[in-house]
């Protein structure tokens, strides 16, 4: 039996056990979707490098491990254990998940305000079915993506954020996912649903961290619906174990005159795939897709951006920066699709990459597909090393070479951080970036 057949049979087998375990818990309406999703996965199997969208990323090592679903016995952590991941200056609206399961004793749902609901998906399955039945699984297309199919089949917890019409959430909503050591490698399928009704505003952070350097597989799907005239700032911070497999999918559906900013910072993981897919479905909508990925050692980080312009008079901007050291491998694949009705589209895509070693590698593939005739679309990509003339200039001003390198790298990364308007998050990420840089400690003396 081939490895491909084994992996499909394996997940189909554990789905049968999962379905029995979840029967009768109020999710009967979801069972047909779950069954269709696992059936689709068994048809698709994990992608290979023969698939154009996965040409530069080999997930064979992931397919060869028999990851276990998390058991019902919850891992108990103390507030002190997760305190190290606190973001100073952030509010008190925080849901914590440990190995994919909601941890109420570590969470602080706070008081987000009238008309705003922030809760675990598992609880919402029991008593908030209206929103779930209207939106869950409607946007992330499991028919075309094996990882979304797996998530859809096995999802059992995550977060539901619902902001009612005309409501503004003043505090940042943070979803903190913590992975811990386990006896056997586990797989989690967190599912987040964010629904913003008309004329609403919110800032939401998804933060994925690890307490231990273990092997595990995190397969996240977040569906976001942004109503007419609504404004969303979404942040995704990924700092998983350096032995972890991490696949995340952010699917955004934008209504008329809505505004979305998506910020991503990738720092951890052995094999990382980051999918961001906004659909500008309403006329006059805008989105900014902003990201930074930093890899070293043998890390592999793949960023797959797909921006769909489906309505006229919409603007999109993409800015992604990569810093690669050691033997790491980065991938940027950015595709802009302008559908035939999306006249007066204005789209721009930029990918810049710095290689810090001879062994580091980057594959950058910007693409445009335009089916309308009155549009303005541009894209571009650069790959290079640190500018030696700039180092010479800084050294001539009395700055040591190591510090000069650190300053230039921090400035390169800072171009993406400067676009983040939530100050506590931006300052926190500046610290994480400085800690990542080989000469980051020197920045304290010269910044």
Higher pLDDT, 298 or 9: 298
Mean pLDDT, all residues of the chain: 93
Instruction: Tell me if 268 sits within 8 A of 210, measured CB to CB.
Output: yes
Which residues have CB under 8 Å from 118's CB, separation 6+?
Answer: 93, 95, 109, 110, 112, 159, 160, 161, 173
Pairwise CA distance, residues 444 & 94, whole Å:
30
Which residues have CB under 8 Å from 45's CB, separation 6+?
Answer: 4, 7, 8, 146
Q: Is the pTM of this model over 0.75?
A: yes
- 188-216 pLDDT per residue, tens: 999 999 999 999 999 999 999 999 889 99
Among 199, 339, 206, residue whose Cα is nearest residue 280: 339
- 369-390 pLDDT per residue, tens: 999 999 999 999 999 998 898 8
* Inter-CA distances, 100 with 75, 80, 95, 189, 216, Å: 10, 19, 11, 7, 12
Chain length of the chain:
447
Distance of alpha carbon 138 from the chain centroid: 19
DSSP label of 43: H
Higher pLDDT, 22 or 122: 122
Q: Tokens 């992608």 map to which residue? A: 47
Residue-level pLDDT at 445: 62
Residue-level pLDDT at 5: 61
Backbone angles phi, psi at 232, to 5 degrees: -130, 135
**Confidence check: pLDDT of 301 > 60:** yes
Dihedral sign (CA 150, 303, 264, 106): positive
* Inter-CA distances, 111 with 91, 115, 170, Å: 10, 11, 10
Instruction: Tell me if 318 sits within 8 A of 287, measured CB to CB.
Output: no
- 106-150 pLDDT per residue, tens: 999 888 889 999 999 999 998 888 899 999 999 999 999 999 999
- 239-269 pLDDT per residue, tens: 999 999 999 999 999 999 999 999 999 999 9
Residue-level pLDDT at 22: 78
- 62-103 pLDDT per residue, tens: 988 999 998 766 778 999 999 999 999 987 799 999 999 999
In the three-class reduction of DSSP (H, G, I as helix; E, B as strand; rest coil), residue 184 is classed as coil
* pLDDT tier at 438, thresholds 50, 70, 90: confident
Find the farthest-apart pair of alpha carbons in the chain and give their distance in angstroms, rounded.
72
Which long-range contacts does 104-107 make (Cβ < 8 Å, 24+ apart)? 106/77, 106/79, 106/82
Pairwise CA distance, residues 251 & 306, whole Å:
10
């Amino acid at each position: 039996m081939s490895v491909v057949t084994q992996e499909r049979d394996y997940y189909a087998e554990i789905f049968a056990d999962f379905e029995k375990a979840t029967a009768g818990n109020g999710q009967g309406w979801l069972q047909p979707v779950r069954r269709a999703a696992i059936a689709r996965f068994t048809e698709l199997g994990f992608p290979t490098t023969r698939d154009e969208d996965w040409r530069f990323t080999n997930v064979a090592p992931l397919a060869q491990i028999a990851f276990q679903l998390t058991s019902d016995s919850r891992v108990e952590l103390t507030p002190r254990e997760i305190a190290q991941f606190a973001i100073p200056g952030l509010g008190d609206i925080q849901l914590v998940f440990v190995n994919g399961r909601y941890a109420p004793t570590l969470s602080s749902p706070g008081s987000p305000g009238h008309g705003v609901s922030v809760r675990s998906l598992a609880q919402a399955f029991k008593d908030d079915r209206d929103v779930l039945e209207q939106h869950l699984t409607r946007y992330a297309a499991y028919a075309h993506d094996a990882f979304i199919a797996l998530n859809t089949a096995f999802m059992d917890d995550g977060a539901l954020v619902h902001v009612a019409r005309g409501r503004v959430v003043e505090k940042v909503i943070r979803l903190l996912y913590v992975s811990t050591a386990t006896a056997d490698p586990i797989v989690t399928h967190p599912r987040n649903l964010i629904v913003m009704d008309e004329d609403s505003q919110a800032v939401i952070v998804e933060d994925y961290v690890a307490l231990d350097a273990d092997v595990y597989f995190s397969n996240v799907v977040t569906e976001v619906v942004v109503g007419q005239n609504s404004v969303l700032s979404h942040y995704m911070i990924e700092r998983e174990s350096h032995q972890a497999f991490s696949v995340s999918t952010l699917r955004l559906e934008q209504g008329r005159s809505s505004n979305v900013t998506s910020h991503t910072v990738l720092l951890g993981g052995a094999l990382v795939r980051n999918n961001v897919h906004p659909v500008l479905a309403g006329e006059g909508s805008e989105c900014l897709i902003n990201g930074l990925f930093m890899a070293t050692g043998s890390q592999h980080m793949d960023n797959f951006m797909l921006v769909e312009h489906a309505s006229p008079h919409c603007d999109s901007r993409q800015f992604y920066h990569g810093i690669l050291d050691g033997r790491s491998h980065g991938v940027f694949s950015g595709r802009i699709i302008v559908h035939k009705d999306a006249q007066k589209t204005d789209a721009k895509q930029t990918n810049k990459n710095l290689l810090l070693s001879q062994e580091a590698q980057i594959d950058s593939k910007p693409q445009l597909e335009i089916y309308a005739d009155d549009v303005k679309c541009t894209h571009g990509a650069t790959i290079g090393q640190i500018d030696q003339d700039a180092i010479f200039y800084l050294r001539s001003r009395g700055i040591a070479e190591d510090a000069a390198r650190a300053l230039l790298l921090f400035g390169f990364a800072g171009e993406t951080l400067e676009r983040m308007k939530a100050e506590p998050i931006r300052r926190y990420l500046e610290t994480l970036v400085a800690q990542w840089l080989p000469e980051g400690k020197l920045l304290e003396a010269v910044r």
